[in-house]
């Protein structure tokens, strides 16, 4: 249970940030009223009104600490959500009826996004409208400079990638892992929808960002990939899975990393895991994934379009695969995946390396517990070991493991707000 001590980030999130996010969603629907009318006539406007009343009711429940209620929609995952609510009700140290301020932060925050989805899904004909679409597209367009810099850098690198020796390849892998790691700063749920696009060139600042990397297992990632390649047989491809986080600049940095893994022959195929419903404001859905690649392919910048066209080709060839299992948008920790979603667990077991992007994934990997910072990452995974995995995460919440003894205290002394200072970054923590 996450105690909501008043100064905790959890309290601030539930009390202030989530209502802010809900208000933005309601405003977005208001602003699309005419579009709904043009597209669907009166039915569209009626549906918009109903969705807004759903969301206003939700905001009131949240702000007045009402009980968490079972989902009444017919969506495929509602039974799993209601089972999870029962589990919360029967927790031994629970405070009785789960409510917004008395239940674990991770649970109620996931629950809010699932209720937002229900507010749209239950009101056709606007049931497929993504209330976060604008924010994600805006992040993409406002990160153009950084995207151009990254695509240009990468296409230059591709020109002579065949001449690079192992040392040089390793260096390039480390650079692109860091770009993907820092790309995780660009998320709209932490910023409650405020602009969080990548303005500066992502490659310039890597050097002086090194000291902010708390746990750095990039060497282990490299040797794992080199060994996988050495042991590769005709039958067994080297497969890397990227469990995606935010659309916009972060997604482009993940796609460039994935292209590098293939072009350097460190991997033969990359599986991407996105969200099946709009989630945490900026998380990547299948639509966002395809839209981003199409945007690049049709860009009037040579290197952007070269990337986008290559990536469409990878999807057509099947060396890139996109999946969006419903488990990723349930409230469960990943330690329960083998039981709740055995098909997904079995799928991940086929991978040589799992790259988990972002803070929410990190919290679900570690059960969002207030671990001692020096608890080993492997232990915090709580038997979740489908394959060797690595988390690339910008620190945005209280959970942190895998630090050296005394490292947490040292940082605390230098920056008491380090947990949310955003600049601090716990990068790849490899749990073998």
Ligand X SMILES: O=P(O)(O)OC[C@H]1O[C@](O)(CO)[C@@H](O)[C@@H]1O
> Which residues contribute to the site for ligand X (CB under 6 A)?
13, 109, 184, 187, 189-190, 245-246, 280, 358-360, 363, 396-397
- Report the residue number, 251 or 258, with the smaller CB distance to Mn ion: 251
Look at residue 397 and give the partner it binds from ligand X, Mn ion, none, a contact being a CB closer than 5 to 8 Å depending on partner kind: ligand X
Under 8 Å between Cβ of 367 and 380: yes
The separation between CA 344 and the C-alpha centre of its own chain, rounded to angstroms, equals: 17
Look at residue 180 and give the partner it binds from ligand X, Mn ion, none, a contact being a CB closer than 5 to 8 Å depending on partner kind: none
Enumerate residues 6+ apart whose C-beta is below 8 A from 198. Answer: 143, 146, 147, 183, 185, 186, 248, 249
Q: Using CB under 5 A, which of 142, 187, 269, 324 touches Mn ion?
A: 187
- Report the residue number, 123 or 143, with the smaller CB distance to ligand X: 143
Least distance from ligand X to the Cβ atom of residue 399, Å: 9
Look at residue 190 and give the partner it binds from ligand X, Mn ion, none, a contact being a CB closer than 5 to 8 Å depending on partner kind: ligand X
Look at residue 400 and give the partner it binds from Mn ion, ligand X, none, a contact being a CB closer than 5 to 8 Å depending on partner kind: none
Contacting range for Mn ion; rule: CB under 5 A; set: 84-92, 155-163, 223-231, 237-245: 237-245
Contacting range for Mn ion; rule: CB under 5 A; set: 40-48, 227-235, 244-252, 313-321: 244-252
The single residue listed with the structure tokens 């932490």 is 190
d(Cα 209, Cα 215) in Å, to the nearest integer? Answer: 13
- 3-class DSSP state of 94: coil
Distances (CA, A) of 171 to 46, 157, 254: 56, 12, 17
Decide: residue 2, CB within 10 A, 0-12 exposed, 13-18 middle, 19+ buried.
buried
Least distance from ligand X to the Cβ atom of residue 26, Å: 19
The single residue listed with the structure tokens 């990939």 is 225
Residues between 280 and 319 with contacts to Mn ion, criterion CB under 5 A: 280, 283
Buried b (16+ CB within 10 A) or exposed e, 27-64: ebbeebeeebeeebeeebeebbeebbebbeebbebbbe
- Report the residue number, 48 or 187, with the smaller CB distance to Mn ion: 187
Least distance from Mn ion to the Cβ atom of residue 196, Å: 10
- 3-class DSSP state of 173: helix
Least distance from ligand X to the Cβ atom of residue 244, Å: 10
Look at residue 359 and give the partner it binds from ligand X, Mn ion, none, a contact being a CB closer than 5 to 8 Å depending on partner kind: ligand X
User: Which long-range CB contacts under 8 A does 51-57 form with residues at least 24 apart?
Assistant: 51/119, 51/120, 51/123, 51/126, 52/26, 54/115, 54/118, 54/119, 54/122, 54/123, 55/22, 55/25, 55/26, 55/29, 55/116, 55/119, 56/26
Least distance from Mn ion to the Cβ atom of residue 247, Å: 9
- Report the residue number, 102 or 168, with the smaller CB distance to ligand X: 102
Least distance from ligand X to the Cβ atom of residue 33, Å: 28
d(Cα 146, Cα 7) in Å, to the nearest integer? Answer: 36
Look at residue 123 and give the partner it binds from ligand X, Mn ion, none, a contact being a CB closer than 5 to 8 Å depending on partner kind: none
Under 8 Å between Cβ of 238 and 266: yes
d(Cα 99, Cα 93) in Å, to the nearest integer? Answer: 14
Look at residue 142 and give the partner it binds from ligand X, Mn ion, none, a contact being a CB closer than 5 to 8 Å depending on partner kind: none
Under 8 Å between Cβ of 188 and 136: yes
**Minimal CB distance residue for ligand X:** 358
- Report the residue number, 126 or 244, with the smaller CB distance to ligand X: 244
246 scored as a contact of Mn ion (CB under 5 A): yes
- Report the residue number, 154 or 280, with the smaller CB distance to ligand X: 280
Contacting range for Mn ion; rule: CB under 5 A; set: 31-39, 242-250, 321-329, 380-388: 242-250
- Report the residue number, 185 or 306, with the smaller CB distance to ligand X: 185
- Report the residue number, 187 or 288, with the smaller CB distance to Mn ion: 187
245 scored as a contact of Mn ion (CB under 5 A): yes
d(Cα 224, Cα 208) in Å, to the nearest integer? Answer: 26
- In the 3-class helix/strand/coil scheme, how is 291-356 assigned residue by residue? HHHHHHHCCCCHHHHHHHHHHHHHHHHCCEEEECCHHHHCCCCHHHHHHHCHHHHHHHCCCCEEEE
- Report the residue number, 152 or 184, with the smaller CB distance to ligand X: 184
356 scored as a contact of Mn ion (CB under 5 A): no
Contacting range for Mn ion; rule: CB under 5 A; set: 109-117, 182-190, 340-348, 361-369: 182-190
Least distance from ligand X to the Cβ atom of residue 62, Å: 14
Residues between 264 and 283 with contacts to Mn ion, criterion CB under 5 A: 280, 283
Distance, first Cα to last Cα, the chain: 27
132 scored as a contact of Mn ion (CB under 5 A): no
Distances (CA, A) of 248 to 109, 197, 222, 431: 22, 8, 26, 28
- The residues that touch Mn ion, with contacts defined as CB under 5 A, are 187, 245-246, 280, 283
């Amino acid at each position: 249970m996450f105690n909501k001590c008043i100064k905790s980030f959890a309290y601030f999130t539930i009390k202030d940030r989530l209502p802010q996010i809900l208000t933005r969603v309601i405003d977005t629907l208001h602003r699309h009223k005419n579009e709904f009318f043009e597209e669907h006539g009166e039915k569209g406007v009626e549906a918009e009104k109903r969705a807004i009343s759903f969301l206003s009711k939700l905001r009131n429940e949240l702000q007045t600490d009402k009980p968490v209620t079972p989902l009444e929609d017919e969506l495929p995952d509602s039974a799993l959500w209601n089972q999870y609510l029962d589990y919360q009700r029967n927790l031994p140290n629970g405070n009785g009826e789960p409510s917004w301020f008395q239940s674990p932060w991770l649970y109620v925050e996931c629950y809010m996004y699932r209720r937002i989805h229900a507010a749209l899904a239950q009101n056709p004909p606007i049931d497929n409208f993504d209330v976060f679409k604008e924010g994600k597209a805006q992040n993409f367009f406002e990160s153009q400079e950084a995207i151009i810099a990254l695509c240009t850098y990468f296409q230059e690198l591709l020109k002579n990638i065949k001449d690079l020796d192992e040392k040089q390849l390793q260096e390039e892998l480390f650079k692109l892992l860091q770009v993907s790691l820092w790309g995780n700063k660009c998320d709209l749920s932490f910023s409650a929808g405020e602009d969080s696009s990548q303005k500066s060139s992502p490659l310039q600042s890597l050097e002086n960002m090194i000291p902010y990397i708390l746990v750095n297992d990039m060497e282990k990632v490299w040797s794992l990939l080199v060994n996988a390649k050495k042991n590769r047989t005709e039958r067994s491809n080297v497969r890397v899975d990227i469990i995606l986080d935010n659309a916009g600049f972060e997604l482009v940095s993940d796609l460039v990393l994935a292209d590098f893994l293939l072009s350097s022959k460190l991997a033969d195929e990359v599986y991407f895991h996105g969200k099946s419903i709009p989630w945490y404001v900026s998380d990547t859905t299948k639509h966002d994934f395809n839209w981003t690649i199409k945007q690049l392919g049709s860009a009037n910048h040579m290197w952007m379009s070269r990337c986008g066209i290559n990536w469409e080709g990878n999807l057509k060839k099947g060396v890139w695969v996109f999946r969006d299992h419903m488990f990723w948008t349930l409230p469960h920790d990943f330690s329960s995946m083998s039981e709740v979603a055995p098909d997904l667990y079995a799928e991940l077991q086929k991978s040589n390396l799992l790259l988990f992007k972002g803070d929410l994934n990190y919290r679900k990997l570690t059960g969002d517990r207030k671990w001692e910072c020096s608890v080993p990452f492997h232990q915090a995974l709580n038997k979740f070991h489908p394959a060797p995995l690595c988390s690339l995460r910008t620190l945005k919440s209280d959970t942190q493991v895998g630090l050296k003894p005394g490292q947490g205290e040292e940082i605390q002394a230098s920056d008491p707000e380090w947990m949310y200072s955003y600049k601090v970054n716990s990068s790849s923590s490899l749990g073998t």
